[in-house]
């Protein structure tokens, strides 16, 4: 195996010291001279027409500097998933569609005054009947939330292969219904932004985003500005998980307030707003029909997904689209029908969330696979090994598998959880379960590509500054990119200065989503470094009278391979290069993976240039008297291609697993009969505390992907995807109760256990 | 308004505060010590943890006037003056216990308080000790490992 000096090492993150010292300056920490504070007035109704808004009293309150409503906007809707799905105004002009919809906003000298002013804004509403259940909303007689017929904003029906014939020829056909819930991202840093206009009308925005490029674009659109006059600044991001992969709406309101007052404005959402008005994971109702041969070979699949979109489209169309494709991913299914409905309801709306539709659908796939194995009397590991994709295969929907360690992941997870042994000696109330997944490393969903770009400035002293539009939302991607640059340039990590996510300074990257940064961003940084190396090697080759291909760059010297004393200092080569810029050389990199946009006729595409795989095995303990589940142990085996930094890779997997356990057992938004979010704090909405955390054993499987930088693939999202079904499977193994609706709350399982007991005795 | 005098990060300081102002806001707004984070504002996430007279507290649940005459240490007061990291901070860096970093200052302060009280804690003791500090990124594993690693040095 190739030897690396930086890649593969457990190096500390480059931002860790700032963070442990409390010196990292997050958006909420920013104070600008004369800064005002913004607050947002939100709809108290799930569905209502706005008859009139009177801001007179609020405007007269001492300390209030501006009150804005839809009249202060250009009436342009957010881009979000693009036409024809644009449906969200910055401030509601005539109708509100969920409890929390933005209606007006205030900028004042203090947060207290702004909050007081909100109570003085008089809005007259005509309350309309509201819809909270997507299946009800689809009925022809249901009132319309937007203009969409039957409130269906997007529907899809695609066949891959001869599905009817495949079902006819299947030995068995099983059909089951699974339901998943809305969950909150719960980033520790609340959403918020600071906006400021200079006298020339240039806008500067600080906001914890996963994609400065998208925020810049969205702000330019809704404010009617050219993007070059909108600067989105580099800030530490206090968690993302998808919540911030698009504009979060407070940015535009903040900018409008800044424009109207001529002063800088800060908005920070409260935790209650965070829970009730930011995006959730889309709830889905999944009907899964699967054809299978007697020996357990999957033969056909029809997945019907009804997605609860909530009040607006946001990224619902691609989230549902991706989720559907995931139903034919890690296991071979020759014939597949994807039937999808994205339905408006008068609730908080969904958005991207770690896994992008995958966790919902894979919960169904992996749960049902266990049920099928039970019905056929096949071992649950065996049925997975029988059907799992092997290297070089192509999924029914066209995903080409360039590398996969899925089989190894399954075997490893099973072996480490003690599969054979525990299946032989089952203990009542204790169970093990396994589940797998496949996920993209970047995805081609935008017509202009899935690209990233970067610039490397190599200085006379041999050190380097790397400019990349990528965002580190906390996952450690900037450190990973710096390590790639250090490896390429033969430097130590400390010699690399990273400049990221500043739209004035950094070349465009689409953002931190689709587990794309290590893969797409990493390849880009490599190309930029190689570009600058090519330039210095040209100079050095002449001086050393050798072929540029025979040169290496290490420790600030260019030398001939095998003859370290035949060398030129980097500084000398830079100064003698015809391309020098002052006393430095720049290298540029642009990378758009060889992936494909979806073919609108066939629905087939290799949407990513590499795919990650994982299997997780869990052991649970269920108290049959109370229905309480304790996750005892999780073994996670992840094919990440190559771990550029194993600490960071493990950190991604471990953190995601805890989110996955929450998704499985404790988390879920609850709305009352009027659509009001009820559990808007950490007491009522239960994410996992340290005492809830099980033993986690992580195994990194390296498969050296041919397209990945040093063989690396994405790892940001995969950790969460198999966790919930593995837990559901383990619970069934422990107590013989199959729960098909998430979350598997204690009371739900208790009722399930009681019912099973009655059925057994009756 | 009431004048309070207290020790902040080893220095005597004073401030005029309104009776309803919470300690977290006093630290962040008046003293620009923004290392103390506000994640919820009602004592459930622990991001605002500081050390008051040797005990870890949620600074969002303490009124500023309550610290009159007392000793407050924030994350900014943990490292040595020359910037040398406190062993807890160093352990968080070395063990990869930091991700988004928003919970980190509170977590570091809670860990320091825990280790002051219970040197060489068991895994269960660490889990209990940081039981009021939420982290959404790490899964706690590397944080626990970092805190336990302090004893080994």
ipTM of this complex prediction, to 2 decimal places: 0.98
- How far apart, in Å, are the Cα atoms of A37 and each of A84, A201, A267? 35, 20, 6
Instruction: Give me the pLDDT at residue A221, please.
Output: 98
Residues of A in contact with B92 (CB under 8 A): 16, 20
What value does the mean pLDDT take over residues A743-760?
96
pLDDT, mean over chain A: 97
Return the CATH architecture of domain A31-128+188-239+244-277: Alpha-Beta Complex (3.90)
Contact state of A238 with B101 under an 8 Å Cβ cutoff: yes
Contact state of A13 with B127 under an 8 Å Cβ cutoff: no
Q: Which of B47, B77, B99 to mutate to test the interface with A (most CBs of A within 10 A)?
A: B99
Contact state of A683 with B39 under an 8 Å Cβ cutoff: no
Residue A141 has pLDDT above 90, yes or no: yes
- How far apart, in Å, are the Cα atoms of A213 and each of A27, A165, A516, A647? 17, 47, 15, 29
Residues of B in contact with A12 (CB under 8 A): 93-94, 96
The CATH number assigned to the domain with range A284-444+600-761 reads: 3.30.365.10
* Helix, coil or strand: residue A223: helix
Instruction: Give me the pLDDT at residue B151, please.
Output: 75
Residues of A in contact with B102 (CB under 8 A): 26, 187-189, 238-239, 474
Instruction: Give me the pLDDT at residue A394, please.
Output: 98
Q: Which of A14, A19, A32 to mutate to test the interface with B (most CBs of B within 10 A)?
A: A19
- How many residues are recorded in chain A? 762
Residues of B in contact with A691 (CB under 8 A): 127-128, 131
Q: Which of B58, B81, B91, B102 to mutate to test the interface with A (most CBs of A within 10 A)?
A: B102
Interface A–B counts its CB contacts (< 8 A) at 171
Q: Which helix (H) or strand (E) holds A302?
A: strand A298-310
Residue of chain B whose alpha carbon sits nearest to that of A660:
B139
Residues of A in contact with B134 (CB under 8 A): 188, 682, 687, 689
- CA dihedral angle for residue A342, residue A346, residue A352, residue A354, rounded to 10 degrees: -100
On whether the CB atoms of residues A652 and A240 are closer than 8 A, the answer is no
Domains of chain B (ranges; CATH) run 2-77 (3.10.20.30), 87-152 (1.10.150.120)
Domain boundaries for CATH 3.30.365.10 within chain A: 16-23+451-591, 284-444+600-761
Distance separating alpha carbons of residues A187 and A354, to the nearest angstrom: 12
* Helix, coil or strand: residue A548: helix
Distance separating alpha carbons of residues A595 and A155, to the nearest angstrom: 25
How far away is chain A from the Cα of B5, in angstroms, using its nearest Cα? 24
Instruction: Give me the pLDDT at residue B152, please.
Output: 54
Contact state of A24 with B28 under an 8 Å Cβ cutoff: no
Contact state of B101 with A648 under an 8 Å Cβ cutoff: no
Instruction: Give me the pLDDT at residue A1, please.
Output: 52
Identify which of B74, B96, B144 has the shortest CB distance to residue A22: B74
Q: Is A15 on the interface with B (CB under 8 A)?
A: yes
In chain A, how long is the greatest CA-to-CA distance?
91
- How many residues are recorded in chain B? 153
Residue A749 has pLDDT above 70, yes or no: yes
Task: State the 10-residue block means of pLDDT for chain B, 153 residues long.
Answer: 97 97 98 98 97 98 98 98 97 98 98 96 98 98 98 59
Q: Which tokens go with B78?
A: 């943990």
End-to-end CA, chain B: 47
Domain boundaries for CATH 3.90.1170.50 within chain A: 31-128+188-239+244-277
Please classify residue A1 by burial: count the beta carbons closer than 10 Å to its beta carbon, then call 0-12 exposed, 13-18 middle and 19+ buried.
exposed
Contact state of A21 with B134 under an 8 Å Cβ cutoff: no
Contact state of A188 with B100 under an 8 Å Cβ cutoff: yes
Confidence of residue A762 (pLDDT cuts 50, 70, 90): confident
What value does the mean pLDDT take over residues A363-367?
98
Q: Is A689 on the interface with B (CB under 8 A)?
A: yes
Identify which of A20, A29, A689 has the shortest CB distance to residue B134: A689
On whether the CB atoms of residues A105 and A91 are closer than 8 A, the answer is yes
What value does the mean pLDDT take over residues A132-142?
97
Say how far residue A270 (Cα) sits from the centre of its chain. Answer: 22
CATH of range A16-23+451-591; options 3.40.50.10860, 3.30.365.10, 3.60.10.10, 3.30.70.3340: 3.30.365.10
Contact state of A236 with B98 under an 8 Å Cβ cutoff: no
Contact state of A28 with B37 under an 8 Å Cβ cutoff: yes
- CA dihedral angle for residue A617, residue A618, residue A624, residue A626, rounded to 10 degrees: -140
Please classify residue A586 by burial: count the beta carbons closer than 10 Å to its beta carbon, then call 0-12 exposed, 13-18 middle and 19+ buried.
middle
Distance separating alpha carbons of residues A636 and A698, to the nearest angstrom: 5
* Helix, coil or strand: residue A397: coil
Instruction: Give me the pLDDT at residue B66, please.
Output: 98
Q: What is the pLDDT of residues A420-474, one digit of tens each?
A: 999 999 999 999 999 999 999 999 999 989 999 999 999 999 999 999 999 999 9
On whether the CB atoms of residues A202 and A196 are closer than 8 A, the answer is no
Instruction: Give me the pLDDT at residue A183, please.
Output: 98
What value does the mean pLDDT take over residues A552-563?
96
Q: What is the pTM of this model?
A: 0.98
Contact state of A696 with B41 under an 8 Å Cβ cutoff: no
Q: Is A650 on the interface with B (CB under 8 A)?
A: yes
Instruction: Give me the pLDDT at residue A256, please.
Output: 98
Q: Is A10 on the interface with B (CB under 8 A)?
A: yes
Say how far residue A654 (Cα) sits from the centre of its chain. Answer: 16
* Helix, coil or strand: residue B88: helix
Contact state of B92 with A475 under an 8 Å Cβ cutoff: no
Residues of A in contact with B75 (CB under 8 A): 20-22
Neighbour tally for A5: CB within 10 Å: 15
* Helix, coil or strand: residue A399: coil
Q: Which helix (H) or strand (E) holds A244?
A: none
Contact state of B41 with A271 under an 8 Å Cβ cutoff: yes
Identify which of A28, A648, A658 has the shortest CB distance to residue B139: A658
What value does the mean pLDDT take over residues A344-352?
98
């Amino acid at each position: 195996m190739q030897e690396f000096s930086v890649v593969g090492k457990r190096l500390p993150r480059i931002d860790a010291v700032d963070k442990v010292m409390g010196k990292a300056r997050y958006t909420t920490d920013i104070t600008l001279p004369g800064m005002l504070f913004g607050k947002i007035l939100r709809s108290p109704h799930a569905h209502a027409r706005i008859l009139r808004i009177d801001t007179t009293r609020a405007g007269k309150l001492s300390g209030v500097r501006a009150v804005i409503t839809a009249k202060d906007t250009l009436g342009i809707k957010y881009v979000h998933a693009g036409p024809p799905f644009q449906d969200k105004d910055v401030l509601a002009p005539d109708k509100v569609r969920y409890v929390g919809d933005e209606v007006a906003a205030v900028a004042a000298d203090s947060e207290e005054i702004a909050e007081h002013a909100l109570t003085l804004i008089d809005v007259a509403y005509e309350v309309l009947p509201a819809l909270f259940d997507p299946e009800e909303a689809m009925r022809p007689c249901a009132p319309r939330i937007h203009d969409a017929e039957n409130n269906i904003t997007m529907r899809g029906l695609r066949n891959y292969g001869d599905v009817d014939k495949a079902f006819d020829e299947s030995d068995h056909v099983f059909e089951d219904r699974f339901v998943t819930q809305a969950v909150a991202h719960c980033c520790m840093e609340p959403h918020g932004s600071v906006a400021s206009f200079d006298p020339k009308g240039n806008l500067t925005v600080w906001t914890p985003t996963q994609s400065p490029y998208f925020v810049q674009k969205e702000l330019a659109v809704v404010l009617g500005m050219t993007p070059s006059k909108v600067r989105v600044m580099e800030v530490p991001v206090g968690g993302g998980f998808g919540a911030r992969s698009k504009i979060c709406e407070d940015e535009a309101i903040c900018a409008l307030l800044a424009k109207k007052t001529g002063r800088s404005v800060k908005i920070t959402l409260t935790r209650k707003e965070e829970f009730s008005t930011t995006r959730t994971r889309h709830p889905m109702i999944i009907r899964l029909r699967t054809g299978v041969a007697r020996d357990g070979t999957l033969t056909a699949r029809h997945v019907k997904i009804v997605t609860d979109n909530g009040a607006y489209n946001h990224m619902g169309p691609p989230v549902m689209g991706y989720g559907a494709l995931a139903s034919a991913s890690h296991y071979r299914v020759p014939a597949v029908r994807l039937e999808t409905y994205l339905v408006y309801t008068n609730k908080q709306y969904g958005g991207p969330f770690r896994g992008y539709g995958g966790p919902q659908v894979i919960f169904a796939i992996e749960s049902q696979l266990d049920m099928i194995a039970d019905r056929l009397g096949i071992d649950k590991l065996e049925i997975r090994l029988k059907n799992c994709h092997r290297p070089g295969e192509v999924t029914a929907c066209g995903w080409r598998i360039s590398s996969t360690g899925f089989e190894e992941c399954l075997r490893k997870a099973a072996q480490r959880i003690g599969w054979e042994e525990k299946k032989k000696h089952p203990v009542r109330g204790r169970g093990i379960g396994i589940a797998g997944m496949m996920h993209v490393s970047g995805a081609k969903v935008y017509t202009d590509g899935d690209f990233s770009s970067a610039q490397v400035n190599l200085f006379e002293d041999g050190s380097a500054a790397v400019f990349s539009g990528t965002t580190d939302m906390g996952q450690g991607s900037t450190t990973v990119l710096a390590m790639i640059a250090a490896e390429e340039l033969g430097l130590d990590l400390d010699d690399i200065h990273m400049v990221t996510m500043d739209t004035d300074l950094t070349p465009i990257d689409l953002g931190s989503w689709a587990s794309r940064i290590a893969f797409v961003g990493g390849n880009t940084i490599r190309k930029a470094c190689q570009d600058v190396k090519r330039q210095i090697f040209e100079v050095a080759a002449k001086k050393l009278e050798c072929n540029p291909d025979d040169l290496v760059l290490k420790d600030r010297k260019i030398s001939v391979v095998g003859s370290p004393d035949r060398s030129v200092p980097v500084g000398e080569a830079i100064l003698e290069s015809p391309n020098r810029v002052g006393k430095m050389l720049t290298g540029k990199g642009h990378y758009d993976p060889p992936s494909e946009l979806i073919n609108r006729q066939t629905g087939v595409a290799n949407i990513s240039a590499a795919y990650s795989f994982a299997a997780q095995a869990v052991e649970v303990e269920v108290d049959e008297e109370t229905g309480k589940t304790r996750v005892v142990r999780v073994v996670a085996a992840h094919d990440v291609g190559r771990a550029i930094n194993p600490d960071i890779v493990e950190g991604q997997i471990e953190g995601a697993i805890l989110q996955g356990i929450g998704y499985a057992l404790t988390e879920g938004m609850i709305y009352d009969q009027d659509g009001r979010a009820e559990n808007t704090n950490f007491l009522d909405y239960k994410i996992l505390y340290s005492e809830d955390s099980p033993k986690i054993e992580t195994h990194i499987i390296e498969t050296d992907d041919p397209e990945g930088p040093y063989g690396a693939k994405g790892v940001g999202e995969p950790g969460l995807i198999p966790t919930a079904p593995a837990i559901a499977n383990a619970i069934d193994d422990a107590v013989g109760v199959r729960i098909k609706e998430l979350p598997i709350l204690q009371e739900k399982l208790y009722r399930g256990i009681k019912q099973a007991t009655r059925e057994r005795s009756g | 308004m009431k004048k309070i005098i207290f020790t902040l990060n080893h220095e005597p300081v004073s401030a005029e505060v309104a009776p309803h102002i919470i300690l977290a806001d006093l630290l962040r707004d008046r003293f620009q010590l923004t290392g103390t984070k506000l994640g919820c504002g009602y004592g459930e996430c622990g991001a605002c943890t500081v050390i008051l007279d040797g005990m870890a507290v949620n600074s969002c649940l303490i009124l500023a006037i309550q610290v009159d005459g007392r000793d407050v240490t924030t994350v900014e007061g943990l490292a040595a003056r020359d910037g040398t990291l406190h062993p807890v901070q160093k352990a968080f860096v070395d063990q990869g216990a930091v991700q988004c970093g928003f919970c980190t200052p509170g977590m570091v302060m809670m860990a320091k308080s825990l280790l002051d009280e219970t040197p060489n804690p068991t895994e269960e003791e660490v889990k209990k000790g940081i039981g009021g500090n939420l982290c959404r990124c790490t899964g706690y594993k590397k944080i626990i490992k970092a805190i336990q690693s302090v004893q080994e040095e």
